[in-house]
Structure 1
Amino acid sequence: MRLSSSRRRTSHTLQRSVASVALAGVAALLATAVQSGAATAAPQQAPSASAEAGAQPVKLTPAQRAALIRAAGADTAATADELRLGGKEKLVVRDVVKDADGTLHTRYERTYGGIPVLGGDLVVRTDADGRTEGVTKATRAAVDVPSLDPAISTDRAERQALGAARAQDAKGPDVDRTPRKVVWAASGKPALAYETVVGGLQEDGTPQELHVVTDATTGKKLYEWQAVKNGTGHTVYSGTVDLTTTQSGSTYNLTDGARGNHRTYNLNRGTSGTGTLFSGSDDVWGNGTASNPESAGADAHYGAALTWDYYKNVHGRSGIRGDGVGAYSRVHYGNNYVNAFWSDSCFCMTYGDGSGNANPLTSIDVAGHEMTHGLTSATAGLVYSGESGGLNEATSDILGTAVEFYANNSSDIGDYLIGEEIDINGDGTPLRYMDQPSKDGASKDNWYSGIGSIDVHYSSGPANHFFYLLSEGSGSKVVNGVSYNSPTADGLPVTGIGRAKAEQIWFKALTTKFTSTTNYAGARTGTLAVAGELYGTSSAEYKAVQDAWAGVAVGPRPGGPGGGTSFENTGDVSIPDNGAAVTSSIAVTGRAGNAPANLQVAVDIVHTWRGDLVIDLLAPDGTAYRLKNFSSSDSADNVDETYTVNASSEVADGTWRLRVQDQAARDTGYINSWKLTFP
């Protein structure tokens, strides 16, 4: 989904004021990637190139990860207090990622009055000494509802949810549990709501877990999304491969004891349950043909093992949830079912046999795609609808493709084509093209303001295109024998940094920057932050991320076309009452020469009796530009304004700071965000 805001902005013109002054106050929080709804979100502030080695994630064993989660769980009350959450709010630890320098990225869910807050998730970044460096929030709205007593019945919520399912031509929709009470915070002002889950089958026979959110006061439908994630992939078998199996007495079965006891089952055309675990008197599985049920089982088992190995060896993650526990696979689902899917409720992948039950969808990139849906659910939790749904689907294409390249299997060579072997259309064409998504006739090459309203498999196009551009660059080229020719939205070239770096950037952004509501603007912000952490903000990699996003119409290139370049810090900084000044920093990079005479400084400060505040912009050399003076008569709340500063005598690149001081007693607040825009 896309969060949007429509905030008043006024403009003031200033000239250079006093000379260099000393800085006072506490260190500002680093910028965070909260959504603004526009696709021109600016980069997070990031460390210099010297930090890159320390920013690499470390490989945690399940026991080490569990210990970090326990430690964070013991400190949730203090964390909630530091984040200034309300008295009714509590945090629940969901995941922890650790960098080599000791930085922790702790992902939390929120509750309010004991009930879940959907769209209230956040990630807190702390340094090796436990100091908070930044917070990424799914919503910036304060979580507060007038009452926790619903005005409508659960029956009304059920009827609305069933109606939503029938509108999508669901087969046999049913509600198997009472709607649960939640706070819905993902798309505007938080509201008390019911979440209803509708089962049954989708129109194409895929199992259904349709989540419908109903306002518990008005009865209005607030949102809906599908929790079963469909994927598509190749039907090419992987040739003769080694499988890790288990022997019990004289019988072998498809249980992988080396990978969390992942098991592969035969549904034998069924559509429910786990089916029968593949077993036999020998350790030979299938004969390479679709007519032998074991062949598809062998492919699925092999693909799951490759995906496990990829995440463990490349990204240091032991299992989809990071807990060392394997998912399971089910093959031969339904009859003539031309798809595959991941379900959180069973923690499993399921594969159909294709048209005529002749082409099982059980090859490497299918397994990578489906298991990655599970990874996304366990980390960012990208809602499977709107722009976040497109990013969810693209993440599975991107990392599923990475698994295929990692496999280095001569029978299924790595490429940037999705589903080229299935031939659903009967003309030998792929389902999706990462180098130019629009070649499939439905996917979009570039971002536009309405992209969140189309099917997530097609709104994934810009992210897939971004990943290709970042990996390989624009223009004509041949990779592993496949020809590509990738255009850009702005007509300018993009130089790739290689797939290995591109997939590291995407994975770390997914696991440490993205939240359930991340949109394309937020994806740009998060990937730029990671590129800065890993390679430095003046690196070729950082610039390539900027250029690749500009190549799909998400944000401008530095110094290039697109209406100016923005740099933003959305980290909250508390302003002490009648105390010392505090500062918030933004690192500006890639701007040759001096700053402009019309530098735009957008300031968003939450503070009662704003007249108490004095606000200055500090240039990299310490020169101060007064934005707002103290005024004892200005009793209005908050500062939400854009100032124009003549900074033409200042070097553009460097660290700029917003300095704020409260010079009178009784009223308090915090810097919510601020932004520099270079026209």
Structure 2
Amino acid sequence: MTSHISRPSRRRSTLAIATAVTAGALLTAGLTTGASAQPEKDAAPSDAPVTLSASARAELLQDANADKAATADRIGLDAKEKLVVRDVVKDSDGTTHTRYERTYDGLPVLGGDLVVHAAKSGKVEDVTKATEASVKVPSTDAKLTRSSVAKSAESSAAKAKTAQADAQAPRKVIWAASGKPVLAYETVVTGVQKDGTPSRLHVITDAATGKKLYQFQEIETGTGNSQYSGKVTIGSKKGTSGYELTDKARGGHRTYDLKHAESGAGKLFKDANDVWGNGKPSSAQTAAVDAAYGAQLTWDYYKSVHGRKGINGDGKGATSRVHFGNGYVNAFWDSGCFCMTYGDGEGNKKPLTSIDVAAHEMTHGVTSATGNMEYSGEAGGLNEATSDIFAAAVEFRAKNPKDVGDYLIGEKIDINGDGTPLRYMDKPSKDGASLDKWKAGAGRVDVHYSSGIANHFFYLLSEGSGKKRINGVQYNSPTADGSKVLGIGRAKAEKIWFRALTRYFTSTTDYKAARKATLRAAKDLYGATSTEYKRVAAAWAGVNVK
């Protein structure tokens, strides 16, 4: 699960990784939703992955599963290692990129994921691994008892300010994400974070020494806007008695009312005349319109621009739940329920359901299904930045006159209380905490702030350095070494980042690896001697990643 926006001093909020985002309420006048609302029919770019039907995708996954033992042998895995198929994408030239998890002697290998790149003929051309270390441990017999590990994990959760901590039964794993693989336990501690966001803290403990090796929060967070998009058209479905907020054109996405509960599925929104909300938080439907509209824009963006149908790439819609809790200033994505959940903000007057919030949240789901970067360290910063990058991309593509595209994150929700956005992509440090460039120790910085490195890279790659005025917003982007960087345009930058995410990023990708992955993506799309390739390198140098 990914959720919320943290609120440090001076009321500063930060979008958290996986999918939480804050937003306002979206509509002005009564929003009209038509049952016939259809996705935009942009032509898929020639460099997009093949858009697979459900049966074609299932067949590719089935083939990969049937051949996984031979694949493991071909790429040189140990006899005790097995592959578990997770995802597959196919290029127009027939190349497939199959993503696997792996096991060792029957135990899950955390940080052992890999992507096998195979030509149309089936020949393996390359393998992208989360770890280059040989996955092998002396023994899979643990010295520590599960009960002692669970108690230790609950203690870690308490220190992480998780209330009502409840450790689930630890599972034995191989921890390979940081250095030499070791036998470990993974304990999931459930509870509630200090701001009311649900918590699922994963604690990794050395099975021999009891030392905590790692921990990460499964619930990731983000930000967005609502009540700012004006009168819009959204997808609804005519039922036996009126209409329901179900978008048939986008995988059956549904929007539910939690009515301020903090659990449960909620109640599907229904309406007699297919006119939803009044543009104000006084109507419970207003936040629902914003959530449905944001989900609609995000679905259309990924399908039209990148050829991806839905978060998981399987054509199935997610669900949205609005009115979570009471005065909850956050939103989050939860892969468990395949849903986005939005709070109503302070005083229940500013639902966190804006365009960029919804896109940020849903992108956490896309990341979870593809690169799946850990929500900690530099990988966590890249995870969070990926949601910011595509939140901006969706907002620009929406061309909504009430919420024009920009390189500001959360500019409409006013969580800081002074009219400033949560984050700035042209110069991240303007928020008072984010990093403009990479530095030693960047992996120890909160992921909402270390994300600034990739956000800044994306801005430089899209627009270039120096002063710019875009859609009425003034920008002035510096570089780490004072050099001038020229942009290639946002459209090309988006395609490069998406290709790197879906083909070359892994759970342990750091900034150095992200540079390598985006250069490889640029080479795939435009060639190794292209202007685009050279400017990717220049943009990374502009944020001190070389």
TM-score by length of 1: 0.73
Q: Does 1:64 align with 2:66?
A: no
Q: 2:163 aligns with which of 148, 171, 179?
A: 171
Q: Tell me the equivalent position of 1:162.
A: 154
| Structure 2 residue matching 1:124: 3-state secondary structure | strand
Which stretch has the larger CA shift, 375-384 or 334-343?
A: 334-343
- Do 1:237 and 1:362's aligned partners in 2 also have CA atoms closer than 8 Å? no
Which amino acid counterpart does residue 271 of structure 1 have in structure 2?
E
- Do 2:256 and 2:266's aligned partners in 1 also have CA atoms closer than 8 Å? yes
- Do 1:58 and 1:99's aligned partners in 2 also have CA atoms closer than 8 Å? yes
Which amino acid counterpart does residue 433 of structure 1 have in structure 2?
Y
Bigger Rg over Cα: 1
Distance of 2:110 and 2:349 partners within structure 1: 42
- Do 1:228 and 1:344's aligned partners in 2 also have CA atoms closer than 8 Å? no
- After TM superposition, list the pairs within 5 Å mapping 1:457-476 onto structure 2: 457-476=448-467
Deviation for aligned residue 1:61: 2.4
| Structure 1 residue matching 2:316: 3-state secondary structure | coil
Deviation for aligned residue 1:56: 4.4
Deviation for aligned residue 1:191: 1.1
Distance of 1:312 and 1:422 partners within structure 2: 27
- After TM superposition, list the pairs within 5 Å mapping 1:106-121 onto structure 2: 106-121=98-113
Distance of 1:279 and 1:524 partners within structure 2: 47
Q: Does 1:266 align with 2:261?
A: no
Q: Does 1:490 align with 2:477?
A: no
Q: Does 1:76 align with 2:52?
A: no
Distance of 1:55 and 1:114 partners within structure 2: 38
Distance of 2:408 and 2:545 partners within structure 1: 23
| Structure 1 residue matching 2:249: 3-state secondary structure | coil
- Do 1:61 and 1:318's aligned partners in 2 also have CA atoms closer than 8 Å? no
Distance of 2:528 and 2:300 partners within structure 1: 31
- Do 2:228 and 2:412's aligned partners in 1 also have CA atoms closer than 8 Å? no
Q: Tell me the equivalent position of 1:343.
A: 334
Q: Does 1:448 align with 2:443?
A: no
- Do 2:110 and 2:175's aligned partners in 1 also have CA atoms closer than 8 Å? yes
- Do 2:227 and 2:280's aligned partners in 1 also have CA atoms closer than 8 Å? no
- Do 2:332 and 2:361's aligned partners in 1 also have CA atoms closer than 8 Å? yes
Q: Does 1:438 align with 2:421?
A: no
Q: Tell me the equivalent position of 1:147.
A: 139
Distance of 1:208 and 1:334 partners within structure 2: 14
Q: Does 1:292 align with 2:283?
A: yes
Q: Tell me the equivalent position of 2:7.
A: none
- Do 2:48 and 2:306's aligned partners in 1 also have CA atoms closer than 8 Å? no
Which amino acid counterpart does residue 95 of structure 1 have in structure 2?
D
Q: Tell me the equivalent position of 2:122.
A: 130
Deviation for aligned residue 1:306: 1.0
Distance of 2:482 and 2:54 partners within structure 1: 46
Deviation for aligned residue 1:186: 0.4
Deviation for aligned residue 1:62: 2.6
| Structure 1 residue matching 2:275: 3-state secondary structure | coil
| Structure 1 residue matching 2:137: 3-state secondary structure | coil
How large is the RMSD of aligned CA atoms in angstroms?
1.2
Q: List per-residue Cα deviations over 1:543-598 (Å, max 9, x = no partner).
A: 1100000000000xxxxxxxxxxxxxxxxxxxxxxxxxxxxxxxxxxxxxxxxxxx
Q: Does 1:379 align with 2:370?
A: yes
| Structure 1 residue matching 2:158: 3-state secondary structure | helix
| Structure 2 residue matching 1:208: 3-state secondary structure | strand
Which amino acid counterpart does residue 220 of structure 1 have in structure 2?
K
Deviation for aligned residue 1:235: 3.6
Deviation for aligned residue 1:324: 1.2
Q: Does 1:244 align with 2:235?
A: yes
Q: Tell me the equivalent position of 2:84.
A: 92
Which amino acid counterpart does residue 186 of structure 1 have in structure 2?
A
Distance of 1:327 and 1:54 partners within structure 2: 27
Distance of 1:546 and 1:309 partners within structure 2: 30
- Do 1:234 and 1:418's aligned partners in 2 also have CA atoms closer than 8 Å? no
| Structure 1 residue matching 2:133: 3-state secondary structure | coil
Distance of 1:64 and 1:437 partners within structure 2: 42
- Do 2:192 and 2:198's aligned partners in 1 also have CA atoms closer than 8 Å? yes
Distance of 2:431 and 2:46 partners within structure 1: 41
Q: Tell me the equivalent position of 1:48.
A: none
Deviation for aligned residue 1:170: 1.2
- After TM superposition, list the pairs within 5 Å mapping 1:222-237 onto structure 2: 222-237=213-228
- After TM superposition, list the pairs within 5 Å mapping 1:191-590 onto structure 2: 191-555=182-546
- Do 2:227 and 2:287's aligned partners in 1 also have CA atoms closer than 8 Å? no
Deviation for aligned residue 1:482: 0.8
Q: Tell me the equivalent position of 1:569.
A: none
Distance of 2:46 and 2:334 partners within structure 1: 35
Distance of 1:227 and 1:277 partners within structure 2: 26
Deviation for aligned residue 1:511: 0.3
- Do 1:56 and 1:534's aligned partners in 2 also have CA atoms closer than 8 Å? no
Which amino acid counterpart does residue 123 of structure 1 have in structure 2?
V
Q: Which runs of 5+ in 2 are unaligned?
A: 1-44
Which amino acid counterpart does residue 231 of structure 2 have in structure 1?
T
Deviation for aligned residue 1:280: 2.1
Please identify which structure carries the higher helix content.
2
Deviation for aligned residue 1:236: 4.1
Distance of 1:205 and 1:80 partners within structure 2: 44
Aligned length: 502
CA 79–54 in structure 1, closer or farther in 2 if over 3 Å, else same = farther
Distance of 1:142 and 1:370 partners within structure 2: 35
Which stretch has the larger CA shift, 438-447 or 160-169?
A: 160-169
TM-score by length of 2: 0.90
Distance of 2:286 and 2:106 partners within structure 1: 49
Distance of 1:224 and 1:168 partners within structure 2: 10
Deviation for aligned residue 1:410: 1.1
Q: Tell me the equivalent position of 2:26.
A: none
Which amino acid counterpart does residue 228 of structure 1 have in structure 2?
I
Distance of 1:318 and 1:113 partners within structure 2: 36
Q: List per-residue Cα deviations over 1:248-298 (Å, max 9, x = no partner).
A: 212311111221111111111111111111112221110000111100001
Deviation for aligned residue 1:202: 0.7
Q: List per-residue Cα deviations over 1:210-265 (Å, max 9, x = no partner).
A: 00011112111111000111111224432111111122212311111221111111
- Do 1:236 and 1:412's aligned partners in 2 also have CA atoms closer than 8 Å? no
| Structure 2 residue matching 1:234: 3-state secondary structure | coil
- Do 2:175 and 2:183's aligned partners in 1 also have CA atoms closer than 8 Å? yes
Deviation for aligned residue 1:147: 1.4
- Between the aligned residues of both structures, percent identity stands at 64
Which amino acid counterpart does residue 281 of structure 1 have in structure 2?
A
Q: Which runs of 5+ in 1 are unaligned?
A: 1-52, 556-679
Distance of 2:474 and 2:56 partners within structure 1: 44
